[in-house]
Amino acid sequence: MLRGLVLALVLANAGYFAWTRGFLADYGFAPPIQSEPQHLAQQIRPETMHLLGVSDAPQLDKVEPPALQVAVTCLQAGLFNEQQASTLRLRLQSSLPVGSWSLKSSVEPGRWIIYMGKYASEEVAAKKRTELRQRGLSFEPLVNLELGPGLSLGHFNSQADAERELAAAVKRGVRTAKVVQELPEVNGLLLKVDAADAPLRAKLETLRPQLAGKALLTCR
């Protein structure tokens, strides 16, 4: 009986295999055909399709990094007298772009100081400096060397400001100081370059002989 069951299973498997492969189609036994012909009808020139490799993939345009912003600085130099300005103007016109520079009238205010001196010698001035340090008072070197040997307790753009500060210094024990004008008010022409980028600054460097020793500084 067991032998017959095994034989039946073998025959059933063989029949199922033949049925799935279509070997029994001539006898009316075949599995249903799974197909979707409507999809084939919708294809457009399928023979032209091919897989893209890496070399076939479209190349995106390279995105250039944004251009670095060029730093610009406002520069000025001066003051120049009429003769100096005349020489400088000729070089500016031939070297710098039109409209990039200007020479305009300007005034440099006088310099007023709280002055102590003039002392008989530098040794006396040194002794006074030591005394001021002991009192906690600050001082600065003189710009006008004709006032030396002497000391400045501070500089100001107006006589009124200097007088006001002197009154405060007297309350702190200063007795021999006074207000003097160290430098007079100066009228002249001021060179100004509003937007000096790197190329323009390089051209300005070539004009240093015509700047009469005046330094190029950031605009105030």
| Residue 15 located in a structural domain | no
- pLDDT bin (cut points 50, 70, 90) of residue 45 is low
Work out how many domains the chain is built from and give that number. Answer: 2
Lowest average pLDDT, out of 16-20, 57-61, 112-116, 153-157, goes to: 57-61
**pTM as predicted:** 0.51
Of residues 30 and 92, more confidence is placed in 92
- Give the largest CA-CA distance in the chain: 145
* DSSP helix/strand/coil, 199: helix
Same domain for 80 and 128, yes or no, is no
Report the pLDDT value the prediction gives residue 82, as an integer from 0 to 100. 93
| Nearest Cα to Cα of residue 164 among 176, 154, 173 | 154
Q: pLDDT tens digits for 81-117?
A: 999 999 999 999 999 999 999 999 999 899 999 999 9
| Residue 168 located in a structural domain | yes
Q: pLDDT tens digits for 119-159?
A: 999 999 999 999 999 988 899 999 999 999 999 999 999 99
Residue 156's domain comprises: 111-183
Same domain for 157 and 98, yes or no, is no
**Rounded mean pLDDT, 193-210:** 91
| Residue 102 located in a structural domain | yes
Using a pLDDT cut of 70, give the percent of the chain over it: 68
Same domain for 177 and 121, yes or no, is yes
**Rounded mean pLDDT, 4-25:** 65
Report the pLDDT value the prediction gives residue 136, as an integer from 0 to 100. 87
CATH number at residue 202: 3.30.70.120
- pLDDT bin (cut points 50, 70, 90) of residue 68 is very low
Report the pLDDT value the prediction gives residue 63, as an integer from 0 to 100. 46
For the beta carbon of residue 131, count every other beta carbon within 10 angstroms: 11
Sign of torsion over alpha carbons 131, 133, 138, 139: positive
Same domain for 163 and 195, yes or no, is no
